Structures are given as C-alpha cells and as structure tokens.
Chains A and B, each alone.
Chain A
Amino acid sequence: DAMVIQNPRYQVTQFGKPVTLSCSQTLNHNVMYWYQQKSSQAPKLLFHYYDKDFNNEADTPDNFQSRRPNTSFCFLDIRSPGLGDAAMYLCATNKPGGQETQYFGPGTRLLVL
C-alpha cells in the first residue's frame, strides 16, 4: 500500500564516498521532489523533476545531483558527502493543477562517518 517508497531507510557512508538514495512511487505523479531535512528544521527543497525536466534550487550545492530514468523512479546522488550532509532525505510526489496533494516517503536517514 506504500505510495512513495524510499530505499534504504538508513544509509551509512564514509566522508567523500559517493552515495545514491532511491525513491519510487506508485501514484503515477508527474512531479518528484527531493528535500533535505536536518534536525528540528523544516524540509528544504533541493530540486525536483517535472516530468523529465530537472529543476534545481538556486542554493543546492553542486555535490547533489539527481536522475529520473522513468516516471516511477528518482535518484539522489551525493558525489562527495561531507559531514554536513548528514540528514534525513525526503522524497515527495504530486500532480499539480488541483488534482493531487504532495505526498512524502518515509525518508532515508544518511549518516556520514
């Protein structure tokens, strides 16, 4: 029944070692978002895909990249994780235009050693 699925739920990586987080959805929504959330703060939008179009937020570091091979899947790549990248990473989806609200996945907790 899960609509937005994130894997893994917990990820441990080493400083500077590339890591990929994945998100999949069964809602057939055309927009997929990636957020970073640090403790006690609101989610911060990193970027999103509107269909195949990638939209980066102005303050998202170059270290963060994303891929969307098809409608259902979206990946977050962190090329060289730093200690400051330890956070919860949330994936969300929606269908703009009054049709569907934005639904979030359970998140992936990233730990950088």
Chain B
Amino acid sequence: GESVGLHLPTLSVQEGDNSIINCAYSNSASDYFIWYKQESGKGPQFIIDIRSNMDKRQGQRVTVLLNKTVKHLSLQIAATQPGDSAVYFCAETFNDYKLSFGAGTTVTVRA
C-alpha cells in the first residue's frame, strides 16, 4: 500500500505487502529527519533517521528516502507485519535540536 507522494492520514495494507508512508516537510534548512512509530498508549519509538547529505538510508525492513528538491520524505516498510500497525510520524530538525512533527499516518495491517 502507498500514497504516491501524498500524505494520507490512514493507510491500510495487506500483511506481507510493502508499505510506503509519505511526509512533506516545511523547513528547507532542516538537516536531520527522523521517523517514529507510535503504538497505542506508548511513546514514539525511533525507527530510522537520515541526514540531509543523504537521499536514502536502509535499516532492517525499513528504508527512508529524502528528496530535498521537493521537501519530501518517505518511509518504506518491506513485508509489512501485524506488529507494524501503529501511527507513524515524520519529524524534521535543524542541528538535532527541537523537532517539528508532521501529521501522523495510521497504518493498519490486514491479515
């Protein structure tokens, strides 16, 4: 499941499929970007980050893409699992200081 460049508040994805979550950031001076996962009743959990001198970074089952030209960030989750159901937030910052959060995307994984 994906939102093709647009931020959508919800995303429903079939278990095993790949997920793409999009985020538009606002400050062209931002140099550090983070994706957080937040499960119900818990604090945001760090997933992956990327600095502005990179355009792609991979983790375990997750990839973050950064397009500075259009100020766009995306998170790709491979082989989505039921445990991936959560709200996902992107955040931007300059010099690792105060975060500015984007609107979250609620991901629901269908069995």
Q: Which residue of B lies closest to A91 (CB)?
A: B43
A-B contact pairs, 6 of them (CB 8 A): A6-B43, A40-B87, A90-B44, A102-B91, A102-B99, A104-B36
A81 within 8 A of B: no
Cβ of A42: which chain B residues have Cβ within 8 Å of it? Answer: 89, 101-104
- Selected from B44, B46, B93, the residue in CB contact (under 8 A) with A43 is B44
- Does B34 belong to the interface (CB within 8 Å)? yes
**What's the minimum C-beta distance from B40 to chain A, rounded to whole angstroms?**
10
Q: Are B42 and A107 in contact (CB under 8 A)?
A: yes
Contact residues of A between 33 and 66, Cβ < 8 Å to B: 33, 40-43, 45, 48
Asked if A70 lies at the interface with its beta carbon under 8 angstroms from chain B, I say: no
Size class of A's contact patch? 20 to 34
List of B residues within 8 angstroms of A13 by Cβ:
none
- CB-based nearest A residue for B43: A104
Interface residue tally on B, bucketed by range: 20 to 34
Q: Are B44 and A97 in contact (CB under 8 A)?
A: no
* CB–CB B99/A103 < 8 A: no
Within 8 A of B (CB), among A56-113: 90, 94-107, 109
The answer for the CA separation of A23 and B34 in the assembled complex, in Å, is 22
Whether the pair B46, A98 counts as a contact (CB closer than 8 A) is: no
Using a CB–CB distance below 8 Å, which chain A residues touch chain B?
A: 4, 6, 31, 33, 40-43, 45, 48, 90, 94-107, 109
Closest residue of A by beta carbon distance from B90: A42
Given A42-B102, A43-B101; A94-B43 close (CB under 8 Å): no
In order of increasing CB-CB distance, the 6 nearest A-B pairs are: A42-B101, A104-B43, A96-B96, A107-B43, A104-B44, A106-B43
Q: Chain B's nearest CB lies how many Å from the CB of A30?
A: 11
A99 vs chain B, min Cβ distance (A): 7
Is the pair A97, B96 in contact by a Cβ cutoff of 8 Å?
A: yes
Tell me whether B45 is interfacial, beta carbon within 8 Å: yes
Q: Are B43 and A99 in contact (CB under 8 A)?
A: no
